[in-house]
Structure 1
Amino acid sequence: MSIDEELRYELRQAAESMHCPPHLDERVRQSYQHYLNEKRGKSPMKKRLIAGVIAVAILIPSAVFASSYLADDIFGSSEAIEQRGGSQEAYQEIEGMLQTAKAKLTEVEFKEFKESFKQLMQLKLKITDENGIKHEEKLTEEEQRQWRELGSKLAPYFEKIQGNEKQ
């Protein structure tokens, strides 16, 4: 036998003859359990916090880009206005006005306002040429009557929207 094997054999014999007091076993077990609980409590919390921050950083900008314009419900897209001589600024102005209306009108009022406004804008697109010039004579008598009715129907809504802005 080599010296290493002899030493190993003697150490095993000595270890087998040793007995730990029962309270020492219990203290070691409790200490190890306490260590595991601390480790388990800290690490997942950090991971959850980091995951939450990353999720917020990704979701907020994507939600802003994913939200649709209210004006898209009326015109389809900004290209529809641009084809009739309008501009992106005009489209953004209409979008801003619709956002203000949504904030200041009740849900029922906004729904009625949006529907009437959509009809009015469809008529307005019909009479506007590619240069942005309005030709009201293009409307039939029925459409002219509808134009006047929609204007008078929308007037109180516009007053409410613009009146609240001034206050």
Structure 2
Amino acid sequence: MSIDKELREELRQVSDSMRCPPDLYERVRQSYQHYMNEKRGRSPMKKRMLAGIVAAAILIPSAVFASSYLADDIFGSVTTIEQRGGSQEDYQEIEGMLQAAKGKLTEDEFKEYMELTKQMVQLKLKITDERGVKHEEWLTQEEQQQFEQLASRLAPYFEKINGTTNP
């Protein structure tokens, strides 16, 4: 037998004959248990934190893109404008105007503004052909009066939105 094997065998026999005090076993067991609990507690927390960050990174931009446009409440969709000679840029400009109005008007004012704007747009869509040309003569006398009333009721809102009124 080689010297390494003899030494290994001798050490194994001596270690088998050694006895550790029982409290040492308990301290080692507690220490190992504490280590395992910390390791188990840290890892899921890191995974949860990482999952939360990834979810936020995915959900926030998708919520922005998925949110409905204010202009959709008035027109229904961008195709309505395109059918009347408008473009995607026109639709985005209207959306920007509505977003500005939402930021500058109170909630009640904005609700009334949206309702009046919706009525005004319905009349404008009625007089606009597929090339985008307006034909005011297509309106009846009653609709023309309604159009003028809506314009006068919307004027203060436009002034407030554009910042031309004194607070």
In the TM superposition, what whole-angstrom CA distance separates every residue of 1:50-90 from its partner, at most 9, and x where no partner exists?
10121012212211221111101100111111111111111
Residues 94-134 of structure 1, C-alpha deviations (whole Å, 9 max, x = no match): 10000111111111100000000000000001001111111
**Which deviations, in whole Å up to 9, do the C-alpha atoms of 1:9-51 show, x marking residues without a partner?**
xx7xx95x86531211221122112211220232112101210
Alignment map for 1:1-167 (pairs within 5 Å) = 19-163=19-163
Select between 21-30 and 153-162 the one with higher mean Cα deviation. Answer: 21-30
Listed as ranges, the gaps of 5+ residues in structure 1 are: 1-6
Per the normalisation by structure 1, the TM-score is 0.84
> Match of 1:41, as an amino acid?
G
Deviation of the 1:145 alpha carbon: 0.7
Q: Tell me how far apart the structure 2 counterparts of residues 44 and 131 of structure 1 sit (CA, whole Å).
A: 61
Percent of aligned pairs sharing the same letter? 74
For structure 2, the residue ranges without an aligned partner over 5 or more in a row are 1-8
SS at match of 1:85: coil
Structure 2 CA distance for aligned equivalents of residues 19 and 87 of structure 1: 89
| Aligned residues between the structures | 153
Other structure's SS at 1:114 match: helix
Aligned Cα root-mean-square deviation (Å): 1.9
| Distance in 1 between residues matched to 2:30 and 2:86, nearest whole Å | 76
Distance 2:86 2:30 in 1: 76
Runs of 4+ in 1 over 2 A off after TM superposition: 17-20
**Given residue 68 of structure 1, which amino acid in structure 2 is its aligned partner?**
S
CA distance in 1, matches of 2:31, 2:94: 68
